[in-house]
Chain A
Amino acid sequence: MNPVNYLFLSALLFTIGAAGVLIRRNAIVVFMCVELMLNACNLAFVTFSRMHGNLDGQIIAFFTMVVAAAEVVVGLAIIVTVYRSRHSASVDDASLMKL
Chain B
Amino acid sequence: MESLIGLLVAAPLLGAAVLLCGGRRLDRTGHWLGTGLAFLSFAFGLVLFTDMLGKDGEHRALHSHLFSWVPVGDFQADVAFQLDQLSMTFVLLITGVGSLIHLYSVGYMEHDERRRRFFGYLNLFLAAMLLLVIADNYLLLYVGWEGVGLASYLLIGFWQHKPSAATAAKKAFIVNRVGDFGLSVAIMLMFTTFGTFAFGPVLANATEAGESKLTAIGLMLLLAACGKSAQVPLQSWLGDAMEGPTPVSALIHAATMVTAGVYLIVRSGAIFNGAPDAQTAVMVVGAVTLLFGAIVGCAKDDIKKGLAGSTMSQIGYMVLAAGLGPIGYVFAIMHLVTHGFFKAGLFLGAGSVMHGMNDEVDMRKYGGLRKYMPVTFVTFGLGYLAIIGFPFLSGFYSKDHLIEAAFARGATQGWIFGSVALLGAAITAFYMTRMMLMTFFGEKRWQPDENGELPHPHESPKTMTIPMVILAAGSVAAGFIFNLGERFVHWLEPVTGYEHGHLPEPLNVPLITGSAVTAMVLGVALAWVKYGRRPVPAVAPRGNALTWAARRDLLQDDVNHVVLVRGGEHLTRSLVYLDHKVVDGVVNGTAATVGGLSGRMRRVQNGFVRSYAVSMFGGAAVLIAATLFMRAV
B606 touches A98 (CB 8 A): yes
For B605, what are the chain A residues with a Cβ–Cβ distance below 8 Å? 97-99
Partner of A91, one of B606, B609, B617: B609
Q: Taking A18-B617, A22-B617 as contacts, is the C-beta distance between A98 and B607 under 8 angstroms?
A: yes
Cβ of B617 to closest chain A Cβ, rounded Å: 6
Counting CB contacts under 8 A, is B456 at the interface?
no
Counting CB contacts under 8 A, is B28 at the interface?
no
B607 touches A22 (CB 8 A): no
For B607, what are the chain A residues with a Cβ–Cβ distance below 8 Å? 95-98
A22 touches B606 (CB 8 A): no
For A94, what are the chain B residues with a Cβ–Cβ distance below 8 Å? 609
Cβ of A41 to closest chain B Cβ, rounded Å: 12
For A21, what are the chain B residues with a Cβ–Cβ distance below 8 Å? 610, 613
Counting CB contacts under 8 A, is B608 at the interface?
yes
Proximity string of chain A (43-78) to chain B, C-beta cutoff 8 Å, 1 when within and 0 when not? 000000000000000000000000000000000000
For chain A, residues 9 to 43, give those with C-beta under 8 angstroms from any C-beta of chain B: 18, 21-22, 30
Q: Number of A interface residues, CB 8 Å? A: 12
Counting CB contacts under 8 A, is B540 at the interface?
no
Proximity string of chain B (582-608) to chain A, C-beta cutoff 8 Å, 1 when within and 0 when not? 000000000000000000001001111
Partner of B608, one of A18, A95, A99: A95
In Å, the complex CA distance between A97 and B602 comes to 12
In Å, the complex CA distance between A97 and B607 comes to 5
A interface majority secondary structure: loop
Cβ of A83 to closest chain B Cβ, rounded Å: 15
A22 touches B602 (CB 8 A): no
For B617, what are the chain A residues with a Cβ–Cβ distance below 8 Å? 18, 22
Closest to B612 in A: A97
For chain A, residues 79 to 99, give those with C-beta under 8 angstroms from any C-beta of chain B: 91-92, 94-99
Residue of B602, B608, B610, B617 with most partner-chain A CB within 10 A: B610
Counting CB contacts under 8 A, is B614 at the interface?
yes
In Å, the complex CA distance between A53 and B236 comes to 105
Proximity string of chain B (607-630) to chain A, C-beta cutoff 8 Å, 1 when within and 0 when not? 111100110010000000000000
In Å, the complex CA distance between A6 and B617 comes to 22
Cβ of B322 to closest chain A Cβ, rounded Å: 79
In Å, the complex CA distance between A99 and B605 comes to 8
For B610, what are the chain A residues with a Cβ–Cβ distance below 8 Å? 21-22, 91-92
For A95, what are the chain B residues with a Cβ–Cβ distance below 8 Å? 606-609
Cβ of B603 to closest chain A Cβ, rounded Å: 9
B609 touches A30 (CB 8 A): yes
In Å, the complex CA distance between A18 and B608 comes to 16
In Å, the complex CA distance between A22 and B602 comes to 22
A22 touches B613 (CB 8 A): yes
In Å, the complex CA distance between A92 and B610 comes to 8
In Å, the complex CA distance between A29 and B602 comes to 29
Cβ of B601 to closest chain A Cβ, rounded Å: 11
Q: Taking A21-B613, A22-B617 as contacts, is the C-beta distance between A91 and B602 under 8 angstroms?
A: no
For A96, what are the chain B residues with a Cβ–Cβ distance below 8 Å? 607
For B613, what are the chain A residues with a Cβ–Cβ distance below 8 Å? 21-22
Closest to A30 in B: B609
In Å, the complex CA distance between A22 and B613 comes to 7
In Å, the complex CA distance between A97 and B613 comes to 15
For A98, what are the chain B residues with a Cβ–Cβ distance below 8 Å? 605-607
In Å, the complex CA distance between A94 and B607 comes to 8
For A92, what are the chain B residues with a Cβ–Cβ distance below 8 Å? 608, 610
In Å, the complex CA distance between A16 and B614 comes to 14
In Å, the complex CA distance between A1 and B132 comes to 114
In Å, the complex CA distance between A96 and B605 comes to 11
For A18, what are the chain B residues with a Cβ–Cβ distance below 8 Å? 617
In Å, the complex CA distance between A96 and B606 comes to 9
B608 touches A91 (CB 8 A): yes
For A22, what are the chain B residues with a Cβ–Cβ distance below 8 Å? 610, 613-614, 617
Cβ of A86 to closest chain B Cβ, rounded Å: 14
For A91, what are the chain B residues with a Cβ–Cβ distance below 8 Å? 608-610
In Å, the complex CA distance between A98 and B610 comes to 13
For B606, what are the chain A residues with a Cβ–Cβ distance below 8 Å? 95, 98
For B602, what are the chain A residues with a Cβ–Cβ distance below 8 Å? 99
Closest to B620 in A: A18
Cβ of B73 to closest chain A Cβ, rounded Å: 64
Q: Which residues of B does A touch, CB under 8 Å?
A: 602, 605-610, 613-614, 617
Q: List 24 A-B contacts (CB under 8 A).
A: A18-B617, A21-B610, A21-B613, A22-B610, A22-B613, A22-B614, A22-B617, A30-B609, A91-B608, A91-B609, A91-B610, A92-B608, A92-B610, A94-B609, A95-B606, A95-B607, A95-B608, A95-B609, A96-B607, A98-B605, A98-B606, A98-B607, A99-B602, A99-B605
Known: A18-B617, A91-B608, A92-B608. 4 other contacts (CB 8 A): A92-B610, A95-B608, A99-B602, A99-B605
Q: Which residues of A does B touch, CB under 8 Å?
A: 18, 21-22, 30, 91-92, 94-99
The 9 closest A-B pairs by CB, nearest first: A98-B607, A95-B607, A97-B607, A91-B609, A98-B606, A95-B608, A21-B613, A98-B605, A22-B610
